[in-house]
A and B are shown apart, each in its own frame.
Chain A
Amino acid sequence: MSQITTQEYWRWPEYRYTVPEKDWHNAKILTAGIDIGSVGSKAAVMLDGELYAYAVIRTGGVSEETAIKVTKWALEGTDLEIEKIHQVVGTGYGRVNVPFANRTITEIACHARGAHYVYGPTVRTVLDIGGQDCKAIRCDERGKVLSFLMNDKCAAGTGRGLEVFADLVGIPIQDLGKVSLQVEKEPQPVSNTCVVFAKAEALALLRQGWSKEKVAAAYHAAMADRITDLLTRVGVSKDFVITGGVSKNDGIVQRLSRLLNVKPLSPKIDPILAGAIGAALFAKALQEKHLGLR
């Protein structure tokens, strides 16, 4: 029997990183934030509130295993072990399934706190576009949530929708945003809001002879429209930032800044980590409370 192996265009790379020239042996407070998302899982290890190591992997079928795997991978190459970390906070969809977490905190609070670390304390509006939902969060100068709205009823306008689309047109998901910007004139957005129907509509457009770039532009425009709709309810105030996996997609970011008339800040650290970093910062606050420092 012969088999055809096709490239999986939706498959995004998993990665890890250790900040060089940092030694955990000198740190007083070791904390970790584990963000088990619906599509991706992130772990951030922090020393006294400074990022030390992180890892990003795809969420597997068993959240407990994913949580252990992502944390172990983040610690790979360092001689730090999970047991030596003082406080672990779990967040994200699978937050209750992190077996070694001391506490769980909702991802909304973690994203606001994490966005402050990643982008700086001037952040007031955080838009988190994740794998299966989209959250709009307003926060104050300390990273405390003032107002939030989450749309998780439908996967249109999220990372999962982009994965489906990448597979359809055969463009690697990392390049999808750039490709969608390679059009002279912005086409009419696809009209359907559901991922499955939007895919069908994109397919129909391809059959009509539209170029991949043009269909990608129409799909991205529809996503940006949907997200803008959501944001208007909580309002947008400066500084505006985008976190989560879709923040890496230039096609979405540029269209959103055009529609909302605000320019998102550029991140100092990978913004996909905002939730995990926020959780690790909450863990630090917990440990300080535990030690009687605050």
Chain B
Amino acid sequence: MKAHYGYKDGSGDYFIVIDSDKCDGCGECINACPNGVLELILDEFDIEGGTMVAVKDEHRKKIKYSCAPCKPVSGERKIPCVLSCRTNAITHSW
């Protein structure tokens, strides 16, 4: 399942997409994120579900600003959570 966390407003699309089929719940991205945006949750989508990574509730409506420190306007982008993920389960829409 691809979970889109974030929002769309007048200035653009701001979504962190987490593919729960790829995410094995290792939690490396949580350690990598300097802003504490991510958390491990119980998979609420399936009664059989295990754990998966999600964007914390308090960051979902301000993700553009929470993630800003990792997104320089020029130069190479090295987004820690994306780089730390062994299974490539995390993508950013902006």
In the bound assembly, the distance between CA atoms of A109 and B87 in angstroms comes to 24
Which one of B3, B13, B93 contacts A148 once the chains associate, using CB atoms below 8 Å? B3
Q: Please give me the 8 A-B residue pairs with the lowest Cβ-Cβ distance, nearest first.
A: A149-B4, A153-B7, A147-B2, A109-B45, A106-B44, A153-B61, A145-B1, A145-B45
Within 8 A of B (CB), among A78-109: 103-106, 108-109
User: Closest Cβ of chain A: how far from B91's Cβ, in Å?
Assistant: 12
Across the two chains, which residue of chain B brings its CB closest to A112? B45
Q: Would B9 and A154 count as touching, CB distance under 8 A?
A: yes
Residues of B within 8 A of A193 (CB): 9-10
**B75-90 to A contact mask, C-beta < 8 Å, 1/0:** 0000000000000000
* Bound-complex Cα distance A146 to B13 (A): 20
- Given that A151-B8, A153-B9 are known contacts, is A146 also in contact with B1, CB under 8 Å in the complex? yes
Distance of A233 Cα from B47 Cα, bound (Å): 27
> How many residues does chain B have at the interface if contact means C-beta atoms less than 8 Å apart?
17
Q: Are A105 and B44 in contact (CB under 8 A)?
A: yes
B4 contact from A106, A144, A148, Cβ within 8 A: A148
CA distance A157 to B93 in the complex (A): 22
From residue 211 to 231 of chain A, which have CB atoms closer than 8 A to chain B?
229-230
Asked if A105 meets B3 with Cβ closer than 8 Å, knowing A153-B61, A230-B8, A233-B15, the reply is: no
- Produce 1/0 per residue, B1-45, CB < 8 A to A: 111100111100101000000000000000000000000000011
Bound-complex Cα distance A152 to B6 (A): 9
Closest B-chain residue to A138, C-beta based?
A: B2
- 1/0 per residue, CB under 8 A from A, across B37-63: the answer is 000000011110000000000001100
**A interface majority secondary structure:** mixed
A25: chain B residues at CB < 8 Å are none
User: Within 8 Å CB of A106, what residues of B?
Assistant: 44-45
Contacting residues, chain A, for B45 (C-beta < 8 A): 105-106, 108-109, 144-145
B10 CB contacts on chain A under 8 angstroms: 193
The reply to whether B46 and A109 contact each other, CB–CB distance below 8 Å, is yes
What residues of chain B have their CB less than 8 Å away from a CB belonging to chain A? 1-4, 7-10, 13, 15, 44-47, 60-61, 93
A144–B21 CA distance with the chains assembled, in angstroms: 12
Counting CB contacts under 8 A, is A52 at the interface?
A: no
A104 to B47, CA, bound (A): 10
A interface residues with partner B (beta carbon < 8 Å): 103-106, 108-109, 144-154, 193, 229-230, 233-234, 282, 285-286, 289
The CA-CA distance from A101 to B10 in the complex, in Å, is: 39
Q: Known: A153-B61, A154-B9. Contact between A148 and B47, CB under 8 A?
A: no
For residue A140, which residue of chain B has the nearest CB?
B1
Are B4's CB and A150's CB within 8 A? yes
Q: How far is the CB of A246 from chain B (nearest CB, A)?
A: 18
Q: Are B15 and A104 in contact (CB under 8 A)?
A: no
- A153-B9, A154-B9 given; A147·B4 CB < 8 A: yes
Contact present for B47 and A289 (CB under 8 Å): yes
25 of the cross-chain contacts (CB-CB < 8 Å) are A104-B44, A105-B47, A106-B44, A109-B45, A144-B1, A144-B45, A145-B1, A145-B45, A146-B1, A148-B2, A148-B4, A149-B15, A151-B8, A152-B7, A153-B7, A153-B9, A153-B61, A154-B9, A193-B10, A233-B4, A233-B13, A233-B15, A282-B47, A285-B47, A289-B47
Q: With A149-B15, A233-B13 in contact, do A109 and B44 touch (Cβ < 8 Å)?
A: yes
Q: Which residue of A lies closest to B13 (CB)?
A: A233
Given A147-B2, A153-B61, A233-B13; A286-B7 close (CB under 8 Å): no
